[in-house]
Amino acid sequence: MESIKVGLLGLGVVGGGTWKVLARNAQEIARRAGRTIEVTRVAVRDVAKARMLLGDTVAVGADPYAVVTDPSIEIVVELIGGETLARELVLQAIANGKHVVTANKALLAKHGSEIFEAASARGVIVAFEAAVAGGIPIIKAMREGLTANRIEWVAGIINGTTNFILSEMRARGLPFETVLAEAQKLGYAEADPTFDIEGVDAAHKLTLLASLAFGIPVQFEKAYIEGISKLAAEDIKLAERLGYRIKLLGITKRRPQGIELRVHPALVPIKSMLANVEGAMNAVLVKGDAVGQTLYYGKGAGEEPTASAVVADLVDVTRLLTSDPEHRVPHLAFQPDAMADTPILSIDDVITSYYLRLTVADQPGVLADLTRLLADSGISIGSMIQQPTETASESASTSVSTSANSNASASVHSADLIFLTHEALERNVNKAIAAIEALPFVRSRVTRLRMESLA
């Protein structure tokens, strides 16, 4: 049978990996797909650099539109990244009747509805396994493997760069900037690494997972996003002492009032599976009503792990080419006319447990006042520790790399309090924090971190 012709947009970390994996495993892949998958055209900016990897066997140019308009090409693989040009190219490829494979979570989280609608209308597939959790086949698992289940929640570590940064800082005591530079060198970070650090990349991926889990439209703009840049080294250490590890989590949960959709650092019990996911590894926990909890673990970023997902999509599309478009697996797991309009909840409506740290004047009555205030706000304390003040919390670092700032004179008169609460409504916790910060004996802002047991 004739080979299937593929056009590749981008030959960077993921594009280069895709080329290498396709070349190395060509025979094995053809045996699985039923046809040879052949990249016949590539678009990059630096053509000379691309030639060094590709040799003379493939047409290479700097015009990506030449790929999406080439009549011989059946599948376009978009690995350029970004939203503007990528959106135009993907929509044009679809309009030209080409199937699309993309790793671009930013594009799909923001323009997914438009793109999937256009693809369904034209009868083509948009496959995006590589867009979430790199090499882990989480899209396939949620769209097909778990299709019997009413999904209750999905939670995971879905950004390799931030997990790598947190792991290396904790285990090797390396400064934030050093580890970030290393993540960039290894090809984990986004073109704009603030997407990783500020939780935006994880929110792109979580938005897609929420759609697959609950059959809701992609709604990136409603996600609550908090990254790791304001995390203080002191809290990472304290969490460890208390039996927790801090991870950047993406959580989406079905509640009677709507759906939680949130990315933020969270304390997870040190013995939990997620706490032990280190480096650039990703892990996604999915709770279904029939299957219970399932865990998906693997490399979430990097050249060949991501290429593994891109090539899996290429094989999937090749196998489905002759299938009736009406009977293919829907892009977002649910039939397009069966999508739900369940609201996304505000972060104020989230219910979870909290870690609260503050510095107070070490004088009689302080604890009594604080515990009364928390109780009046409907917040129950699970445990509490008091320790002599080690740092000037008022100057809590804006970067995890900032070293502890010891303040000997303050430590004479101050104490640090750490409260671990039972589950509480975030709105109530915020109100309590505002009231606490107004108390005369409170000498710092309250550091508030969420805690997730994922039981």
Three-state secondary-structure class, residue 160: helix
Query: Does 205 participate in catalysis according to the annotation?
Result: yes
Beta-bridge partners for 49: none
Q: Using a CB cutoff of 8 Å and minimum separation of 24, what contacts does 235-238 make?
A: 235/355, 235/357, 235/447, 235/449, 236/166, 236/169, 236/170, 236/400, 238/357, 238/418
Residue 45 binding target from ligand NDP, ligand HSE, none, CB below 5 to 8 Å by type: ligand NDP
Looking at the Cβ atoms of 12 and 199, the one nearer to ligand NDP is 12
Distance CA 32, CA 45 (A): 33
Query: How many of the chain's residues bind ligand NDP (CB under 6 A)?
Result: 27
Q: How far apart are CA 399 and CA 392, in angstroms?
A: 15
Shortest Å, Cβ 398 to ligand HSE: 21
Instruction: Answer whether 76's CB lies under 8 Å from 89's CB.
Output: yes
Q: Find which of ligand NDP, ligand HSE, none residue 196 binds, CB within 5 to 8 Å per kind.
A: ligand HSE
Q: Which does 390 bind (CB under 5 to 8 A by kind): ligand NDP, ligand HSE, none?
A: none
Which of ligand HSE, ligand NDP, none sits in contact with 161, Cβ below 5 to 8 A by type?
Answer: ligand HSE
- Active-site residue (options: 5, 205, 247, 299): 205
391 binds, options ligand HSE, ligand NDP, none, Cβ within 5 to 8 A by partner type: none
Interacting positions 174-233 with ligand NDP (CB under 6 A)? 187-188, 190-191
| 196 vs 226 by CB, closer to ligand HSE | 196
Minimum distance of ligand NDP from residue 186's CB (angstroms): 9
> Using CB under 6 A as the criterion, what x/- string covers residues 303-322 for binding ligand NDP?
---x----------------
Establish if 44 lies at the interface with ligand NDP (CB under 6 A). Answer: yes
| Strand ranges for 239-291 from DSSP E | 244-255, 258-269, 281-288
Residues in CB range of 150: below 8 A, 6 or more apart: 288, 289, 290
Cα–Cα distance for residue pair 153/287, rounded to 1 Å = 5
Q: What are phi and psi of 205, to 5 degrees?
A: -70, -40
**In the complex with ligand HSE, which residue's Cβ is closer, 17 or 215?**
17
The DSSP secondary-structure symbol of 149 reads S
- Comparison of 101 and 400: residue with beta carbon closer to ligand NDP: 101
DSSP one-letter code for 384: E
Residue 10 touching ligand NDP (CB under 6 A): yes
DSSP conformation letters of 32-101: HHSS-EEEEEEE-S-HHHHHHHHTTSSEEES-HHHHHT-TT--EEEE-S-SSHHHHHHHHHHHHTT-EEE
Q: Could you say which residues in the range 226-285 bind ligand NDP, by CB under 6 A?
A: none
Toward ligand NDP, which CB reaches closer, 184 or 342?
184
DSSP 175: -
Choose one: 41-49, 256-264, 406-414, 429-437; the region binding ligand NDP (CB under 6 A). Answer: 41-49
Report, in Å, the least distance between residue 24 CB and ligand NDP: 18
**Distance between CA atoms of 207 and 211, rounded to whole angstroms?**
6
Cβ-based nearer residue to ligand NDP, 231 or 310: 310
Q: How far apart are CA 89 and CA 188, in angstroms?
A: 24
At closest approach, how far in Å is the CB of 63 from ligand NDP? 8
Per CB under 6 A, residues contacting ligand HSE are 134, 159-161, 188-190, 196, 201, 300-301
If one asks whether residue 130 binds ligand NDP (CB under 6 A), the answer comes out as yes
Selected from 39, 43, 154, 210, the binder of ligand NDP by CB under 6 A is 43
Q: Which stretch binds ligand NDP (CB under 6 A): 80-88, 93-101, 164-172, 369-377?
A: 80-88
Return the number of the residue (87 or 254) whose C-beta is nearest ligand NDP. Answer: 87
The reply on whether position 15 binds ligand NDP by CB under 6 A is yes
Q: 398: which DSSP letter?
A: S
Q: Is residue 21 part of the contact set for ligand NDP (CB under 6 A)?
A: no
Cα-Cα-Cα-Cα dihedral sign, residues 200, 202, 208, 210? negative
For residue 448, list its beta bridge partners: 356
* CB-CB contact of 41 with 59 (8 Å): yes
Residues that bind ligand NDP (CB under 6 A): 10-15, 43-46, 49, 64, 79-81, 85, 103-104, 130, 134, 187-188, 190-191, 301-302, 306
Catalytic residues: 205
